[in-house]
Amino acid sequence: MVVQNSRKMCEVTLCSADRAHKIKTQAIMLPQLTHFLPTSNISHINLEEIKQLRLADPNCFTPNKIDMVIGSDLIPRIILQGLQQNISGSLIAQNTIFGWILSGPIQERISTFTTQVTEPQEESLNSLLKKFWDEEEFCEDLYQRTTTADGRYMVKLPIKPEFPDPMALGHSRLAAQQQYISIERTVEKKPGLCKRYSEVLEEYITMDHMEPTSSQEVIKDGKYFSFYLPHHAVIKPDSKTTKVRVVFNASRISHSGNSLNDVLYTGPTLQNDSMLIILRWRLYKFVFNGDIE
């Protein structure tokens, strides 16, 4: 990991080619941004399938210098309506104010990079302890006020007061859709897994753990108030009860750089400590272990 310090910022205006869209923002100036990307020429792409698209970067398959990295906070203002799937079998084309951009896996091995901007800060122990107790008090009060029981317990999510400003969610549908497409290809090759995976999701609908919703993201004043949860299957063939378990990933980062977990308080740990439970086993001759549905 390379850490760079910057003391310079400048005002920039991002414009579409026809100058119909303009975005004013601030840029952090760094002595070096990235190496050439991609690191080698990409050849396993059917150019006939994308020639009708006006790409934001027509030379994206050739190594070149990267002049600017656009922050994820600007993505909602850049993305336009328009999505095409299965480009050259694995790519997705998304329309933006700059033109169409491509994403997805390809045959060549290419280098990627990640970047993160942080402000230097030091929090005192007193400040950290106060923040901890404030979170505990907030979550406990929320659970007492909002928990309902009608055949099952329901409680509202402990959303942080910083949401949606300054801590916001971003575009998340595309990432979840890509994960779904990947899962769909996997289960299609295994009919038994496909059937069981569908049964689990149908069970969620039957038990009201899940319900159909709009395919449009909830956006108000440029801020996102919805989050699409990517999911995948965890397979345990030797399990006598749950052979296929669907796992939802609330830690997947949206285009704002924040995930659903980031905008939620963790809350107190409700489960008993596993080590203490095991130590207490020594007090008894027999121990029962159960799985309750």
Looking at per-residue pLDDT, the higher value among 73 and 286 belongs to 286
- Classify 251 in phi/psi space as left (phi over 0), alpha (psi -120 to 50) or beta: alpha
* Number of structural domains in the chain: 3
Domain assignment present for 279: no
Length reported for the chain: 293
Confidence of residue 109 (pLDDT cuts 50, 70, 90): low
Q: What's the pLDDT at 71?
A: 80
What pLDDT score was predicted for residue 260? 92
φ/ψ of 259, rounded to 5, equals -105, 175
Note the pLDDT of residue 121. Answer: 59
Paired strand residues for 99: 96
- Please tell me whether residues 55 and 99 are part of one structural domain: yes
Residue 183 pLDDT: 83
DSSP code of 138? H
Residue 109 lies in a domain: no
Same domain, 26 and 76: yes
| Burial letters 6-44, b for 16+ CB under 10 A, else e | eeeeeeeebebeeeeeeeeeeeeeeeeeeeeebeeeeee
**Residues 215, 149 within the same domain:** no
Residue 152 identity: R
Q: What pLDDT, on a 0 to 100 scale, did the predictor assign at position 122?
A: 58
> Is 194 strand, coil or helix?
helix
Q: How far is CA 252 from CA 174, 215, 259, in A?
A: 12, 19, 6
Indicate if 59 and 29 belong to the same structural domain: yes
Query: Distance between CA 39 and CA 61 in Å, rounded?
Result: 10
| Number of other residues whose CB lies within 10 A of the CB of residue 151 | 7
Alpha helices in the chain (DSSP H): 75-78, 125-146, 173-188, 191-206, 274-280
Clarify whether residues 20 and 99 are in a common domain: yes
Verify that 178 and 231 share a domain, yes or no: yes
List Cβ neighbours of 184 (8 Å cut-off, separation of 6 or more).
none
**Structural domain boundaries enclosing 15:** 9-103
In a domain, 278, yes or no: no
Q: What is the pLDDT, as a whole number, of residue 148?
A: 87
User: Among residues of the chain, what percentage have pLDDT more than 70?
Assistant: 88
Asked if residue 168 is part of any domain, the answer here is: no
Q: Does one domain contain both 145 and 191? A: no
Give per-residue burial for 172-193: e unless 16+ CB within 10 Å, then b: bbbbbbbbeeebeeebeeeeeb
The reply to whether the predicted model has a pTM over 0.75 is no
Mean predicted lDDT score pLDDT of the chain: 81
Q: What is the pLDDT of residues 135-188, one digit of tens each?
A: 888 888 888 888 988 777 888 889 998 888 888 898 888 888 888 888 888 878
The pLDDT, as a whole number, for residue 120 is: 62
Judge if 149 and 194 occupy the same domain: no
